[in-house]
Structure 1
């Protein structure tokens, strides 16, 4: 039974990936242009008024607080066994295709784009488990006046910079007491997951939106959202009522969700007319505490789940159909007398059930939240989405488990065991990262990291490298005696002042030769250890933050780069150990330049000094990652084509990496591909070290809902030496 379930799960995943590869292009919405004879392209004068008003109204509301009521009906049109293995999907009852979910929340918005939601009560007919598909908060972040909406996933058609991607038509004009109301028909110039299609009704009196109706598609979800704006001076810039239709289609599974939402505004504050519009650049730089804008979503153990209590506070009554879903749920879960008279299953039957559960464990993801114990989460053990490929590392598999235990006053215990296997190098990796946060207001924490690192060669090789001229240099002619590495890092972290963190600890390594033959023993020792006190200082000027639950500090981000200094001093304490010094300095930052366009960069350098006896050139900032964490695991990109042997071949280095990411770059002529591609990326990197002066790497990548893919070219001293690619599955990882 278990074996059959595992095999079936693997077949489902293979079918999943093959099905997505041949699925229709995404982002194409089946809404054509209206063909009424009176339709005409919107005049430039009207569009100018709309764009100018949108720029002003995007930050007109400085803050609001509102009660939010959401009611969703979920209907399963088609489903198969694959639906069970989709991460973060609902847990359905067998034979039941209709469900209802309700919630009452507090919404708090603070300019320029901070949305906070605190759930107060919830009622549902789902049998259990949470799903990210129930969370439609991103659709509430639908400020069409802003340059981008839905957590920066979609370009707003009312933004002048984004208008080059849209066509605008005057569908109709209605005349009211306050002036004309234009029905503006908006269509994308090409299919894309970053563009919308639909209509909005705009008043010519003040050029505000009165009603909007848009369709779009992102990842595997097609959505249709309508919003009616408020009709008072305090709420005319904000949605009052909304409807949302979401359709999830995936390998012959079809799930539809119809949501309706209602907002009751308690307080609306507008910005000072004489003040500059609020952005991150114009916020008061002397005050970075955003606690008034953030609150932690309340503990789910304190949510109101009682049906009768929820009925007393429900702002809108249920329809007959909605009420029947609750009554049907109660009927299904009512304890029947015959349930207590069932025959106890035999031992053979219990063993079959156990084997089936073990099979499910291999192909299902889990998130177990146990009161007084903590939260345990892991992804399926058999999961192709955990496999990645790169030219440098080959095929690698990674699995990660997480344990979190939140104590009173914000103290936290966080454990992350990881295992991985590199099929190309035939190496197994394991590591355990542990963190105990004892002072959450100052990020005071004790860290422990233990595992086996990359295979590495000693500094004995550096003399051989230095003796070779650049013109004849080659690793292939060298005898590289590799050592296995087991490391342990123990450290203490504290934030001295806002944005300035001091990390102190010790770093220990135990290394022994992979091939402990007499021939190797004649050249080097077979065992080397190291013990090194270590100091790491990270400084991010102008760090914004807030306090969750009044005690735990959460850093939000900064407009400035992060500067890092990492110093390590090896001392003779363990057997077979020596002395050395390592120093690395770096700066990194991710900058949003406009709309959905971002630039990330990382520059840095390092060197070893005061070397005594044999040591290992093992940098922290410039290293070959043996357990890849995903596409964006290193800010600004890494060197994808650089031979892993170069990372340990020099006593000094200087590097710089840059990544430019945008929705539209080179694929304009191939509009059908734009309906599948979410991001395009340009990569550039440069490295200076002996025998590589310089090494340059250029790349181009695509980001989709299914996978991320990049092609890279390596250039050594003006000559192109290598071409390769990197591939990672990203489906459901976001």
Structure 2
């Protein structure tokens, strides 16, 4: 087989008849110029020189024009003859001679960078949509080195075995890919060749991909582009220098983030005067423990069509004592490029608008014509304001985007989403050394060659380490882990079965039931497209009460375009008097078991409940339902706790609530929620709401219907409310909730029927700080009359502590919270708080309470949003 591959390699080499142009780029002092870019005009091929200034390009025999450039140096244009003779091309770059900037300072004395960046931002949508399709060949090379591991970790024998083969050694990944792009954002990546010196057997589809994101996109690699609409809010721009290159004026602009944030870039961007396209960028980004240094070089592969031809990325990792470094190169050769000449208006440079103000005249809708008139008016302005630039960018994006067909609803989102298909050539991992010698644009360094030579011996060490674990024992461990932690299994093609595992076989302890011992199961079945049936039975034995606690929850999704959902529940459980406004039951388990603080009180509930939710129209949701309950009073049956304290009686009055007798309840309700202009997506035939700039308005009616001659709830209740969560830019967001309601025509009412307000009974909670109260007795905030409540939360990445510069490198954010409730029983009650945390992962805050008599108290609360049913 090896002989066949060798002959095949010789055959390919003989057919192509390519020579290799090798070279070294240095400065006048003989120092290597790292990151210099070599671009061959005839083949639209770029490559980047390594830290020693070395580069190599495979070219058929002939004469070529090569452009050699580097940041801070003048570009050299050379005519090179490639033949059988392989002399090393030596290129000496001279320091850049910068020009005196022409006066482009307005009456306010602004930095010239403002003028340049406004025009670049205004023109960014045009450059983003400038290319209809291209086919390219990309060589990528990535090297990495694990330099240091904390000594504490190396004390572990298992970690030492895993890490030792890699520590201090340089590993290399190389690939050759064919990348096909089709507008607007579709990439097909075919791995033609793949090689790795890493001991683990990597799959070719793990090859390093080129950066498919464009600097002209508002979001580039998960960070805010300096060319995004709104960039002036996030960046400071300063004019650095300018220089002439091929008759064009290139402006070097300093880009500084206004705040230290992992979503912002820091560095330089190079922009062509009048064309306002990017020719280079040199950015750094800092995440927690990771620093990226990213350089990109663009060339005009077609007249006025600039595309990236090389990338040079450094990665530096320093976190928790781990130190590692990496380097990534990408060299791009464009085989085919087709510019898009049909996508609407071309935003002309301001300097030439006076010569030709006419716009293309395809068939246009009135809306499109109006946008073009607005854009023309902005183009005629001698000087753009920042607001003008943002408006031009939005109008250009609108005109570049094809008009939606009338068959697509106006609120359905069909955004341009980057899709990437990856395939692997059957020969990808079989390419021989002759092939790689021809395809590499950067020669291997000595330590990289040694890495390839050591690969097989290191693989033997790694496999030996892995082989020390008996496969039978490993399989047993896997089965035991599933039993312990739970798992899920497929049921045919359309179903799935799941269970909780032994860890959740004891989910609760309280003084009424004792320990719960049992299990929760789940079965999910796809009935049809967009329709699914889910059944979740659970059964537990209450050790102290010596009775069974069980319930069945089932749901059926139907009418996928209307988000239909039918829920049915029934069972016999111990329920919290506070109902859906209650806290996390695991909190009560911990407080009861540790210190006898049983803040939750329970009653027996044998019930059946039914609910149906469906969209009447877009954004208008109707929910109707009802439940029948037989309620019975329960008492404590056990008092065990670690500190051997006496628990409180199982009556809600001990926590500020109201006691009740045994009773029955038949409760029905209807609720309307309306969110104007709700945008949505269709995925697999199912409708999902995405966003709206409007709040959600709601109205709800509840009624308790008297049943039989015994004690039974009988009342009417109505509530209206509004709530919203809204982003205020990249760093800030706000959420609020307001509700008012009233009971009327009340004949019988029991504590579970009261309007209950969310409260926590302990320092920990799993619900984020949105509208709950934290300093009152658990059952104190409840009313049987009328109420008004409000909640306001403002979250910012830079509120108080994060305004200190040395704190800005950390990822946490800050928030302020205000809650208010009024009801006849307690009159006014207010809580104000401050918190900090990591988005929705973990959060801690301090809260202050005030009632009608003034200051009431202070407390600390911590949110841990764990998934524990």
Which category describes the TM-score, using the shorter chain as reference length? 0.5 to 0.7
- Work out which of the residue numbers 722, 726, 746 in structure 2 matches 1:591: 726
Relative distance call for 1:66 and 1:434 in structure 2 (3 A) is farther
- Per the alignment, residue 714 of structure 2 pairs with 579
Question: 1:675-695 CA deviation, whole Å, 9 max, x = no partner?
Answer: 214423232232222244432
Question: 1:285-323 CA deviation, whole Å, 9 max, x = no partner?
Answer: 97112236459999xxxx7567558999x9x96789899
Question: In the aligned structure 1, how far is the partner of 2:321 from the partner of 2:815?
Answer: 32
Question: In the aligned structure 2, how far is the partner of 1:681 from the partner of 1:457?
Answer: 28
Question: In the aligned structure 1, how far is the partner of 2:635 from the partner of 2:670?
Answer: 34
Give the match's secondary structure for 1:291: coil
Aligned residue pairs total: 620
Give the match's secondary structure for 2:410: coil
Give the match's secondary structure for 2:750: coil
- Per the alignment, residue 807 of structure 2 pairs with 673
- Per the alignment, residue 495 of structure 1 pairs with 615
Question: In the aligned structure 1, how far is the partner of 2:690 from the partner of 2:320?
Answer: 38
- Work out which of the residue numbers 238, 254, 261 in structure 2 matches 1:168: 238
Question: In the aligned structure 2, how far is the partner of 1:124 from the partner of 1:379?
Answer: 43
- Per the alignment, residue 355 of structure 2 pairs with none
Alignment of 1:479-518 (within 5 A): 483=603, 489-509=609-629, 511-515=631-635
Mapped contact 1:230–1:238 kept (Cα < 8 A): yes
- Work out which of the residue numbers 243, 256, 279 in structure 2 matches 1:210: 279
Which stretch has the larger CA shift, 204-213 or 235-244? 235-244
Mapped contact 2:526–2:532 kept (Cα < 8 A): yes
Mapped contact 1:456–1:648 kept (Cα < 8 A): no
Give the match's secondary structure for 2:274: coil
- Work out which of the residue numbers 643, 650, 658 in structure 1 matches 2:792: 658
Question: In the aligned structure 2, how far is the partner of 1:404 from the partner of 1:292?
Answer: 31
- Work out which of the residue numbers 528, 534, 538 in structure 1 matches 2:673: 538
Relative distance call for 1:189 and 1:45 in structure 2 (3 A) is closer
Question: In the aligned structure 2, how far is the partner of 1:239 from the partner of 1:707?
Answer: 40
Mapped contact 2:758–2:771 kept (Cα < 8 A): no
- Per the alignment, residue 447 of structure 1 pairs with 567
- Per the alignment, residue 552 of structure 1 pairs with 686
- Work out which of the residue numbers 636, 644, 658 in structure 1 matches 2:778: 644
- Work out which of the residue numbers 289, 295, 300 in structure 1 matches 2:412: 289
Displacement after TM superposition at 1:724 (Å): 2.4
- For the pair shown, the structure with the greater C-alpha radius of gyration is 2
- Per the alignment, residue 709 of structure 1 pairs with 844
Indicate whether 1:222 and 2:291 are aligned: yes
Question: 1:234-274 CA deviation, whole Å, 9 max, x = no partner?
Answer: 99587675555555554344566666677998775466762
Mapped contact 1:443–1:494 kept (Cα < 8 A): yes
Question: In the aligned structure 2, how far is the partner of 1:449 from the partner of 1:722?
Answer: 40
Question: In the aligned structure 1, how far is the partner of 2:734 from the partner of 2:714?
Answer: 40
Give the match's secondary structure for 1:537: strand
Question: 1:200-236 CA deviation, whole Å, 9 max, x = no partner?
Answer: 1122233333221211223454333333456368995
Question: In the aligned structure 2, how far is the partner of 1:675 from the partner of 1:644?
Answer: 39
Give the match's secondary structure for 1:290: coil
Indicate whether 1:456 and 2:582 are aligned: no
Mapped contact 1:402–1:415 kept (Cα < 8 A): yes
Give the match's secondary structure for 1:639: coil
Mapped contact 1:401–1:418 kept (Cα < 8 A): yes
- Per the alignment, residue 52 of structure 1 pairs with 118
Displacement after TM superposition at 1:173 (Å): 2.9
Give the match's secondary structure for 2:249: strand
Displacement after TM superposition at 1:49 (Å): 1.0
Question: In the aligned structure 2, how far is the partner of 1:377 from the partner of 1:39?
Answer: 69
Relative distance call for 1:232 and 1:155 in structure 2 (3 A) is closer
Mapped contact 2:260–2:809 kept (Cα < 8 A): yes
Question: In the aligned structure 2, how far is the partner of 1:728 from the partner of 1:626?
Answer: 13
Alignment of 1:1-150 (within 5 A): 44-57=110-123, 59-60=125-126, 73=142, 75=144, 77=146, 143=215, 146=218
Mapped contact 2:754–2:783 kept (Cα < 8 A): no
Question: In the aligned structure 2, how far is the partner of 1:208 from the partner of 1:521?
Answer: 69
Relative distance call for 1:545 and 1:671 in structure 2 (3 A) is same
Question: In the aligned structure 2, how far is the partner of 1:267 from the partner of 1:521?
Answer: 73
Relative distance call for 1:566 and 1:730 in structure 2 (3 A) is closer
Relative distance call for 1:614 and 1:603 in structure 2 (3 A) is closer
TM-score, normalised via structure 2 length: 0.55
Indicate whether 1:687 and 2:756 are aligned: no
Relative distance call for 1:288 and 1:714 in structure 2 (3 A) is same
Question: In the aligned structure 2, how far is the partner of 1:589 from the partner of 1:277?
Answer: 30
Relative distance call for 1:656 and 1:46 in structure 2 (3 A) is same
Alignment of 1:186-205 (within 5 A): 186-188=255-257, 191-205=260-274
Indicate whether 1:623 and 2:758 are aligned: yes
Question: In the aligned structure 2, how far is the partner of 1:656 from the partner of 1:728?
Answer: 21
- Per the alignment, residue 250 of structure 2 pairs with 181
Question: In the aligned structure 2, how far is the partner of 1:726 from the partner of 1:116?
Answer: 47
Structure 1: give runs of 5+ residues left out of the alignment.
1-33, 84-91, 384-398, 420-428, 459-478
Question: In the aligned structure 2, how far is the partner of 1:119 from the partner of 1:406?
Answer: 33
Give the match's secondary structure for 1:49: helix
Give the match's secondary structure for 1:53: helix
Displacement after TM superposition at 1:325 (Å): 8.2
- Per the alignment, residue 393 of structure 1 pairs with none
Give the match's secondary structure for 1:231: strand
Give the match's secondary structure for 1:48: helix
Higher RCO (C-alpha under 8 Å, 6+ residues apart): 1
Displacement after TM superposition at 1:558 (Å): 1.4
Question: In the aligned structure 2, how far is the partner of 1:609 from the partner of 1:526?
Answer: 22
Mapped contact 1:100–1:325 kept (Cα < 8 A): no
Mapped contact 2:674–2:696 kept (Cα < 8 A): yes
- Per the alignment, residue 6 of structure 1 pairs with none
Indicate whether 1:251 and 2:320 are aligned: yes
Mapped contact 2:719–2:741 kept (Cα < 8 A): yes
Displacement after TM superposition at 1:649 (Å): 3.6
Relative distance call for 1:370 and 1:590 in structure 2 (3 A) is same
Give the match's secondary structure for 2:300: coil
Relative distance call for 1:310 and 1:241 in structure 2 (3 A) is farther
Relative distance call for 1:406 and 1:318 in structure 2 (3 A) is farther
Mapped contact 1:650–1:690 kept (Cα < 8 A): no
Relative distance call for 1:441 and 1:173 in structure 2 (3 A) is same
- Per the alignment, residue 465 of structure 1 pairs with none
Give the match's secondary structure for 1:496: strand
- Work out which of the residue numbers 836, 846, 856 in structure 2 matches 1:721: 856
Please report the RMSD computed on the Cα atoms of aligned residues, expressed in angstroms: 6.3
- Per the alignment, residue 7 of structure 2 pairs with none
Mapped contact 1:154–1:193 kept (Cα < 8 A): no
Question: In the aligned structure 2, how far is the partner of 1:358 from the partner of 1:437?
Answer: 34
Displacement after TM superposition at 1:672 (Å): 0.8
Give the match's secondary structure for 1:701: strand
Question: 1:167-226 CA deviation, whole Å, 9 max, x = no partner?
Answer: 7361x4321234321223334566443543222112223333322121122345433333
Displacement after TM superposition at 1:721 (Å): 1.5
Displacement after TM superposition at 1:432 (Å): 8.6
Mapped contact 1:157–1:166 kept (Cα < 8 A): no
Relative distance call for 1:129 and 1:729 in structure 2 (3 A) is farther
Relative distance call for 1:409 and 1:292 in structure 2 (3 A) is farther
